[in-house]
Amino acid sequence: MSACELCDNPGGEILWQDEHCRVVRVGGDEGRAFPGFCRVVWQAHVRELSDLAPAARQHLLALVHATEVAVRQVARPDKINLASLGNLVPHLHWHVIPRWADDSHFPAPIWAPAARPAPARAQPASDALRAALAAALGDQP
């Protein structure tokens, strides 16, 4: 049995993956408050971006970029936040977080206390996110 949360489960609904990375749509309270919130997860245990070989680093960052493009296209947020924290899991991963000026935490980070209730927003369709991600990737990864 593994003791690694991101080895034991995908961390959300898988939108795209290859042998190195996966893009997941975040669920739960975070997903409801920030519709379209995605994570790009490196499949292997790697803690830091600087631990990757140049080609692997380029692959990961191209996928982060494509995910941002897809989320912007489908969710139409006012802003995108990108974060790579990973203090508790040994998997390099990036949060791609759509933000709106009236969201529950704006202008603070989503991990700060909420300033107001989350407004009701429609979740982007998974198929729309997948299609936008595929288009943004083009011939990439």
pLDDT, mean of residues 61-76 = 97
Name every residue whose Cβ is closer than 8 Å to that of residue 138 and which is 6 or more positions away in sequence: none
pLDDT digits (tens, 9 = 90+) for 69-105: 999 999 999 999 999 987 777 889 999 999 999 999 9
pLDDT of res. 89: 77
- Evaluate whether 61 touches 141 at the Cβ level (below 8 Å): no
Give the predicted TM-score (pTM) of the model.
0.92
- What residue segments make up the domains of the chain, in order of their start? 5-137
Q: How far apart are CA 60 and CA 40, in angstroms?
A: 8
Task: Extract long-range pairs of 56-62: CB within 8 Å, 24+ residues apart.
Answer: 56/20, 59/20, 59/21, 59/141, 60/20, 60/21, 60/92, 60/94, 62/137, 62/140, 62/141
Q: How confident is the model at residue 3 (pLDDT cuts 50, 70, 90)?
A: confident
CATH topology of domain 5-137: HIT family, subunit A (3.30.428)
Q: How confident is the model at residue 2 (pLDDT cuts 50, 70, 90)?
A: low
* pLDDT of 139 over the 60 cut: no
pLDDT of res. 87: 78
